[in-house]
Structure 1
């Protein structure tokens, strides 16, 4: 992949301005500029990740379509939210499993936001039946989980995050060697990306490196749900 700079300091400056002016009037006035220096470069990046992602797993997709692809839609769902601001002022993309339309599958993810960018992957907010399957698989396959998430390079690079129960799930041994993981409600790992990295030509290679690094976790989760990787 040729070295490409997708975002510039101007891109991040506009994103900060948008975050301070999250309203329809501002966005209508600045929409063309937003698309030119923020949205379109992001779609370009997603498209450039498709081929290297396929080399990590042929079952995952990086879809650069502006609507219905990998990029999250800009409009927030405010129906049940206290925060009624209408837009997402950050960029997010899910690089999804080919079976994602049918099942809740693990994914690769990237998030661009000044001062809070990150990349990683995993399974976010699975439904109870899916969560139960992952926990059962953890109990039956502890060594493979530790291999995927306890390696020196993984621990130096990624942070396992998401929500977790305060107590052991009902019916599980509180003394189980993986109880901290069995209490998880999310199985996700991510690494932080600096603004300097976001605006450099190293962004795409860094994302690919990140997806390779988190791939064993995604692979494990796919196996727990009988999905190909």
Structure 2
């Protein structure tokens, strides 16, 4: 499988779009955008196929360029980036991957749990309340931490209802999202090795996904619920 490459043309287009974010300009350059979008889709497809060599990913989606402005104060019609998500095979595999390509060194990848539903969030919190040693060992292991760093995402200022605010694992329990991110410069994005690095970084998150999948497919007694 030949490795596609993201070009400077993609970043340059989004820089121009940021300065001319209106329908007239976009329509005049729509053919150019469609060509660049096709190249981006090839890159996302490459990641999808690479992921399936070490995981089971049942689909990917490159999000549309059009913004939903109905409930937003920002009425600009177009996004100035490519974003795409890769979903793991449910119900036994949990978590997801995301690749974001944006100029001015704003590109990044992410992995984890963006919007866990109410039941999953409570199950995760109860697991950490019961035992936080295993998750800490995973996320603090040098091969993992050197790639992904620390958790990011929304969290409560205090303890969730029915949890002790003095619990030793309250730093984990109060989180509403369990996400890791890794940033890239423009130079890195257009390099020959970018997509290979993205795939290798996604592969490095696997111990976390394996652990969380086990948690979310069992009860607190370790009995399967699927």
Same fold (TM over 0.5): yes
> What is the TM-score when the length of structure 2 is the normalising length?
0.87
Are 1:122 and 2:112 an aligned pair? yes
Q: Do 2:112 and 2:209's aligned partners in 1 also have CA atoms closer than 8 Å? A: yes
Give the whole-Å Cα distance in 1 for the aligned partners of 2:80 and 2:174.
Answer: 32
Please identify, of 23-32 and 103-112, the stretch whose mean Cα deviation from structure 2 is larger: 103-112
Please report how far the alpha carbon of residue 7 of structure 1 lies from its aligned counterpart in structure 2 after TM superposition: 1.9
Please report how far the alpha carbon of residue 141 of structure 1 lies from its aligned counterpart in structure 2 after TM superposition: 4.2
Which digits, 9 at most, give the CA deviation of each residue in 1:46-78, with x for residues without a partner? 2112332112212x1353xxxxxx111222222
Match of 1:72 among 63, 71, 84: 63
What residue in structure 2 maps to residue 15 of structure 1? 14
Which digits, 9 at most, give the CA deviation of each residue in 1:187-217, with x for residues without a partner? 0001111111110110111111110112222
Please report how far the alpha carbon of residue 2 of structure 1 lies from its aligned counterpart in structure 2 after TM superposition: 3.8
Aligned residues: 217
CA-based RMSD: 2.3
Are 1:26 and 2:17 an aligned pair? no
Which digits, 9 at most, give the CA deviation of each residue in 1:105-127, with x for residues without a partner? 52011111112111120010223
Are 1:207 and 2:205 an aligned pair? no
Please identify, of 178-187 and 44-53, the stretch whose mean Cα deviation from structure 2 is larger: 44-53
1:211-222 equivalent positions in 2, closer than 5 A: 211-222=202-213
Q: Which has the larger radius of gyration?
A: 2
Secondary structure at the aligned position of 1:55 is classed as: coil
Q: Do 1:91 and 1:111's aligned partners in 2 also have CA atoms closer than 8 Å? A: yes
Are 1:142 and 2:132 an aligned pair? yes
What residue in structure 2 maps to residue 192 of structure 1? 183
Which digits, 9 at most, give the CA deviation of each residue in 1:173-196, with x for residues without a partner? 223232111111110001111111
Match of 1:108 among 87, 97, 100: 97
Secondary structure at the aligned position of 1:119 is classed as: strand
> What is the TM-score when the length of structure 1 is the normalising length?
0.86
Q: Do 2:63 and 2:84's aligned partners in 1 also have CA atoms closer than 8 Å? A: yes
Question: Which sections of structure 1, spanning at least 5 residues, go unmatched?
Answer: 64-69
Please report how far the alpha carbon of residue 12 of structure 1 lies from its aligned counterpart in structure 2 after TM superposition: 0.9
1:94-105 equivalent positions in 2, closer than 5 A: 94-99=85-90, 105=94
